[in-house]
């Protein structure tokens, strides 16, 4: 049979293995009738066991029996008026059973899925009959709600009531649409509606009345039936649906009027297409099988969208009453056949299905074709059979109930109408692909851009490097050139410097050699000269010294002879004293003579000392010249010539001096001889009393002889020129000045020269030299220059100053000597003392040098002697020495171990003691005891005698001595 084959095709044509779920159990599905004779054949909807794949049937669905409810229409006004008591039917809603009177005594009981009595509201009817189907549709299953019953029993009321007047009257169509729209997303889902009428096997489009013969097409693959030409209106709001339904209803009435038929004869079909997009379950690897059986691996990132395309079919069938019954309407029999064809075919199909017949004549009518999925298909189907309460309806009611009973046996395999939304997936994938391509292009572009930039940068860097390299190369070359240049310059300069250096060295060597040779020559020459001169001088000096020593010896001899003579004179005097007692007058003369003799002797001694001093001076001078010349060697190289000349001159002078000194020595020896002769003759002449004046004159003569020698020197220098000699005093050279001073000093010794020297300013120069010179020789020699001249030119003060300022023993000795000489000059004594000479002399005692002390002692002795001499025969004042405080020093040094000092002091004490006026001070200073000691211990007899005499002759001394 075609129906069976179709079923087989339908189930076999769907290779999909979508998971089927039963979302809820409705009252329709939950109740099965245990009383139903075929109930065993109806599997429970609550036990959705998979049907094994047998007999080529589809095993992908879940068995879902057609649900059938019975609704009893309430009595209408007419029926209420009539006495017709509806007792032919008894409803037992709670038991879901109804009883139908078979005859007067028997009832037949029928079990249904729901029993809705006349009071059942539209809402309840919807919820019981349609709502489970609507929910299934929303879940993706096809669904069918169909009303079957006799005309006028309320099919249209139940399904198509719009409820404009009373919302509670809204029928299943309106309520179903309300529920669907409420559960569909306006954006993703779509709900579209077609409204059709099937009359005389013609399908009319109620939404487009002009389409009055729509063709039914079947998908050969799935078996799905569709009406491609039917108007399908998208509905979004219940209100628009109502309008649509109204319009459809109006069109139905118009069409029926036009066809001169009643709506009860036609079937009205509301087809609602619901498309819902559902997100598929995300699984790790979802695999969706496509039609070719190949699998598509979807990435995790893509959520699978599935589309549930389900259909809700609400069918308001034509009245189920037999046509023949309604033949009064005047239809042709043929027409009447057509009118009932669809219903008859439906009945047949349901019977076949109910009886599980292998052939279901589904193709016998358009209705069965359109309801193909609703009975024995994949849809969830709910059937409401309407019955009337009047007994008139009894037969039809029975027929309707039996139809319902058969329909309850029909079992569908509800199947989820779900498919992957390949289009949207494709779109999405395409979008993804586009996006990825764009991204890829963008990335590629980015890579290209980056590469380009990098390339550009690399090129720039390359360029920079090249430039830098070029620069570096240039710089390197420049620096190299500079370096080479500098090296060359360096080498040149080094070479030049070396040359200069070698030249300089050469020059230096030459100069050094030259200088060395010159120096050596000069030194050798100088040394030779000096040595020669020194040797000469030494020789001269030695000769001179020898002569002096000889002279000294002679003088000593002479002195000894004189002393012997004096002793003999004294002895003779003693003898005379002894012999000539009583001859007082003669005695006095003798005494005088004796004193004179003593003086003479003293002078002799003085001259001897002077000679000794001169000798020492010469020695010192010689030593000084030698040392000085050696020390000044280097400096003198320059002045060599000049000095050599001076030396020559000096040499000449010295030669002359030596010559003169020789003469002087000769004279001295002559004088000595003369003196010796006088002394030898002395004893015989003493008695004559002419001896003393004679010897005195001899001594004087001797001094004059010396002066004569000096005059000779002066004459020689006159030849040179006094001015020249004096100008030498101003010379820069110390030695020159020294010699000049010496020469001037020698000249000054000659009285005849003194005036000339003073006139020429020589003394001024000399004194200035004395004042300013640091050279001790100059000071020494200058200090010795003629005493009177010095005094006249305020020389004493200079000497005093020199004495106070210098500590040089040699200078002090010379200054002390000079002052001592002045002390011996009677004429100058007062002036000397006034100028502080005595105090200066005493002051020089600070130098402990024996020579200085000797000169001081000599000076004091000279001063005392002169005072004594001057006071002779006249009353005189106290000694100036005592006045100037010399006594303590005299007493202190009376016992000085230096014999020269001691002797002078002893003499000085004797001179002072000669005058009574000094006695008191002498006693006070303790000098008396020194005198006593001298009188006893002095080595010189004459002094002892003098001391004794002084002690004895002084009353003060005597009285002082008597105190002890
Ligand atoms: P049908 O379509 O089966 O020929 P209708 O639906 O046209 O019957 O109903 C016939 C009449 O009965 C209508 O006037 C309707 O209003 C009324 N009718 C039907 N069923 C009911 C009901 N359950 N309650 C009230 N009135 C009803
Ligand atoms: Mg109707």
How many angstroms is it from 70 CA to the middle of ligand 1?
14
Q: What is the mean pLDDT of residues 74-102?
A: 85
Smallest CA separation from ligand 1 atom 19, residue: 154
Residue bearing the bigger pLDDT, 693 or 409: 409
Looking up tokens 């179709």, which residue turns up? 6
How many angstroms is it from 108 CA to the middle of ligand 1?
26
Spatial CB neighbours of 226, under 8 Å, sequence gap ≥ 6: 216, 217, 218, 219
Cα distance between residue 109 and residue 92, in whole Å: 10
Q: What is the pLDDT of residue 34?
A: 32
Tens-place pLDDT, residues 421-455: 777 778 778 888 888 888 888 888 888 888 888 89
Q: What is the pLDDT of residue 325?
A: 45
How many angstroms is it from 842 CA to the middle of ligand 1?
187
Please, are residues 801 and 810 in contact by the beta-carbon 8 Å criterion?
no
How many angstroms is it from 209 CA to the middle of ligand 1?
26
Give percent above pLDDT 90 in the chain.
Answer: 25
pTM above 0.75, yes or no: no
Q: What is the pLDDT of residue 935?
A: 87
Residue bearing the bigger pLDDT, 879 or 730: 879
Question: Which one of the ligands is nearest to 71 CA?
Answer: 1
* Closest C-alpha to 942, from 669, 511, 470, 602: 602
Question: Which one of the ligands is nearest to 256 CA?
Answer: 2
How many angstroms is it from 383 CA to the middle of ligand 1?
17
Alpha helix locations (H) across 583-690?
A: 584-631, 633-636, 640-686
* Closest C-alpha to 202, from 443, 366, 395: 366
Tell me which of 10-14, 570-574, 673-677 is least confident: 10-14
Q: What is the mean pLDDT of residues 278-306?
A: 52
Smallest CA separation from ligand 1 atom 20, residue: 154
Q: Which atom of ligand 1 is nearest to the CA of 151?
A: 4
Smallest CA separation from ligand 1 atom 18, residue: 154
What Cα–Cα distance (Å) separates residue 63 from each residue in 50, 120, 145? 8, 29, 17
Q: DSSP labels for 231-272?
A: --EE--SHHHHHHHHHHHHHHHHHHHHHHT--GGGSEEEEEE
Alpha helix locations (H) across 355-411?
A: 366-370, 394-407
DSSP SS3 for 116: strand
Return the half-sphere exposure (C-beta side, CA atoms, 13 A cut-off) of residue 200: 14
Question: Which one of the ligands is nearest to 75 CA?
Answer: 1
Tens-place pLDDT, residues 134-177: 999 999 999 999 999 999 999 999 999 999 899 999 999 999 99
Q: Own/partner pairs for 873-882, CB < 8 Å, 24+ apart? A: 875/917, 876/915, 876/917, 877/917, 878/917, 878/918, 878/921, 879/912, 879/915, 879/917, 879/918, 880/829, 880/833, 880/838, 881/838, 881/908, 881/912, 882/912, 882/918, 882/921
Cα distance between residue 310 and residue 165, in whole Å: 32
Q: What is the pLDDT of residue 261?
A: 72
Contact residues of ligand 1, CB 6 A cut-off: 73-74, 76, 149, 151-157, 264, 319, 386
Q: What is the mean pLDDT of the chain?
A: 77
Look up residue 791 and give its two tokens. Answer: 């005094």
163 marked among binding-site residues: no
261 marked among binding-site residues: no
The secondary structure element, H or E, covering residue 30 is helix 27-30
Q: What is the pLDDT of residue 406?
A: 93
926 marked among binding-site residues: no
Cα distance between residue 176 and residue 102, in whole Å: 37
DSSP SS3 for 925: coil
pLDDT tops 80 at residue 115: yes
Q: What is the pLDDT of residue 633?
A: 57
How many angstroms is it from 75 CA to the middle of ligand 1?
9
Residue bearing the bigger pLDDT, 424 or 754: 424
Look up residue 748 and give its two tokens. Answer: 């000054």
pLDDT tops 70 at residue 344: yes
Q: What is the mean pLDDT of residues 470-483?
A: 92
Cα distance between residue 691 and residue 697, in whole Å: 10
119 marked among binding-site residues: no
Question: Which one of the ligands is nearest to 393 CA?
Answer: 1
149 marked among binding-site residues: yes
Instruction: Give the pLDDT band of residue 558 (cuts 50, 70, 90).
Output: confident
């Amino acid at each position: 049979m075609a129906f069976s084959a179709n079923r087989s095709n339908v189930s076999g044509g769907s290779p999909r293995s979508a998971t089927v779920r039963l979302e809820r159990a409705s009252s329709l599905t939950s109740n099965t009738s245990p009383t139903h004779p075929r109930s065993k054949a109806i599997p429970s909807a609550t036990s959705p066991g998979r049907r094994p794949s047998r007999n080529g049937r589809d095993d992908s669905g879940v068995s879902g029996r057609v649900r059938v409810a019975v609704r009893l229409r309430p009595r209408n006004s007419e029926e209420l008026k009539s006495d017709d008591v509806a007792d032919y039917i008894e409803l037992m809603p709670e038991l879901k059973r109804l009883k139908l009177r078979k005859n007067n005594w028997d009832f037949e009981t029928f079990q249904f899925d729901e029993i809705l009595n006349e009071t059942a509201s539209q809402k309840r009817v919807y919820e019981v009959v349609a709502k489970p189907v609507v929910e299934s549709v929303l879940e993706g299953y096809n669904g069918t709600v169909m009303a079957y019953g006799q005309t006028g029993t309320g099919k249209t009321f139940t399904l198509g009531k719009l409820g404009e007047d009373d919302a509670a009257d809204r029928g299943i169509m309106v309520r179903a649409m309300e529920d669907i729209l409420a559960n569909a997303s306006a954006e993703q889902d779509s709900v579209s509606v077609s409204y059709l009428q099937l009359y005389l096997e013609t399908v009319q489009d109620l939404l487009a009345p002009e389409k009055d013969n729509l063709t039914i097409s079947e998908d050969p693959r799935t078996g799905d039936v569709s009406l491609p030409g039917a108007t399908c209106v998208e509905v979004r709001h219940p209100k628009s649906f109502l309008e649509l339904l109204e319009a459809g209803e109006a069109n139905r009435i118009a069409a029926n009027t036009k066809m001169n038929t009643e709506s009860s004869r036609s079937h009205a079909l509301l087809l609602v297409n619901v498309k819902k997009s559902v997100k598929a379950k995300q699984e790790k690897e979802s695999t969706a099988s496509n039609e070719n059986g190949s699998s598509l691996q979807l990435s995790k990132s893509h959520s699978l969208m599935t589309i549930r395309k389900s259909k809700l079919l609400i069918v308001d069938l034509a009245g189920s009453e037999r046509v023949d019954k309604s033949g009064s309407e005047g239809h042709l029999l043929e027409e009447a056949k057509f009118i009932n064809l669809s219903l008859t075919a439906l009945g047949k199909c349901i019977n076949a299905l109910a009886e599980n017949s292998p052939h279901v004549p589904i193709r016998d009518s358009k209705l069965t074709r359109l309801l193909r999925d609703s009975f024995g298909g994949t849809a969830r189907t709910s059937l409401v059979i309407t019955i009337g309460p009047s007994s008139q309806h009894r037969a039809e009611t029975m027929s309707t109930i039996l139809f319902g009973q058969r329909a309850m046996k029909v079992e569908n395999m509800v199947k989820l109408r779900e498919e992957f939304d390949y289009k949207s997936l494709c779109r999405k994938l395409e979008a993804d692909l586009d996006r990825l391509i764009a991204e890829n292009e963008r990335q590629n572009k980015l890579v290209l851009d980056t590469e380009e930039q990098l390339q550009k940068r690399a090129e720039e860097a390359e360029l920079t490097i090249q430039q830098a390299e070029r620069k570096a190369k240039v710089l390197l070359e420049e620096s190299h050139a500079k370096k080479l240049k500098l090296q060359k310059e360096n080498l040149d300069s080094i070479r030049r410097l070396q040359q200069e250096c070698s030249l300089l060295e050469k020059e230096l060597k030459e100069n050094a050699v030259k200088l060395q040779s010159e120096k050596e020559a000069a030194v050798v020459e100088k040394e030779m000269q000096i040595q020669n001169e020194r040797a000469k001088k030494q020789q001269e000096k030695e000769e001179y010294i020898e002569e002096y020593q000889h002279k000294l010896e002679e003088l000593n001899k002479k002195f000894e002879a004189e002393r012997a003579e004096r002793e003999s004179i004294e002895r003779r005097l003693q003898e005379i004293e002894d012999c000539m007692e009583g001859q007082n007058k003669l005695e006095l003369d003798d005494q005088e003579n004796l004193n004179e003799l003593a003086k003479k002797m003293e002078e002799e001694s003085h001259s001897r000392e002077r000679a000794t001093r001169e000798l020492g001076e010469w020695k010192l001078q010689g030593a000084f010249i030698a040392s000085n010349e050696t020390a000044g060697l280097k400096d003198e190289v320059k002045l060599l010539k000049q000095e050599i000349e001076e030396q020559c001159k000096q040499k000449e002078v010295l030669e002359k001096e030596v010559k003169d000194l020789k003469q002087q020595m000769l004279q001295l020896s002559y004088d000595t001889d003369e003196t010796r002769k006088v002394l030898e003759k002395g004893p015989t002449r003493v008695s004559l009393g002419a001896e003393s004046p004679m010897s005195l004159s001899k001594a004087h003569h001797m001094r004059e002889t010396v002066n004569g020698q000096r005059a000779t020197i002066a004459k020689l220098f006159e030849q040179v020129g006094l001015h020249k000699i004096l100008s030498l005093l101003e010379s820069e050279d110390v030695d020159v000045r020294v010699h000049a001073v010496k020469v001037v000093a020698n000249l000054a010794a000659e009285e005849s020269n003194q005036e000339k020297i003073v006139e020429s300013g020589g003394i001024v120069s000399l004194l200035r030299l004395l004042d300013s010179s640091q050279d001790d020789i100059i000071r020494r020699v200058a200090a010795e220059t003629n005493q009177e001249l010095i005094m006249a030119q305020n020389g004493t003060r200079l000497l005093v100053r020199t004495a106070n300022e210098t500590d040089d023993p040699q200078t002090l000795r010379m200054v002390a000597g000079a002052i001592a000489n002045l002390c011996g000059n009677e004429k100058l004594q007062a002036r000397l003392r006034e100028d502080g000479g005595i105090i200066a002399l005493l002051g020089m005692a600070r130098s402990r040098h024996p020579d200085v002390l000797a000169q001081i002692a000599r000076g004091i002795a000279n001063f005392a002697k002169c005072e004594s001499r001057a006071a002779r025969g006249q009353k005189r004042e106290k000694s100036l020495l005592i006045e100037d405080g010399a006594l303590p020093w005299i007493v202190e040094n009376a016992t000085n171990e230096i014999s020269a000092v001691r002797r002078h002091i002893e003499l000085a004490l004797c001179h002072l003691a000669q005058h009574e006026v000094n006695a008191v001070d002498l006693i006070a200073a303790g000098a008396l005891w020194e005198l006593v000691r001298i009188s006893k211990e002095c080595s010189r007899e004459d002094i002892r005698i003098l001391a004794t005499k002084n002690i004895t002759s002084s009353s003060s001394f005597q009285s002082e001595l008597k105190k002890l």
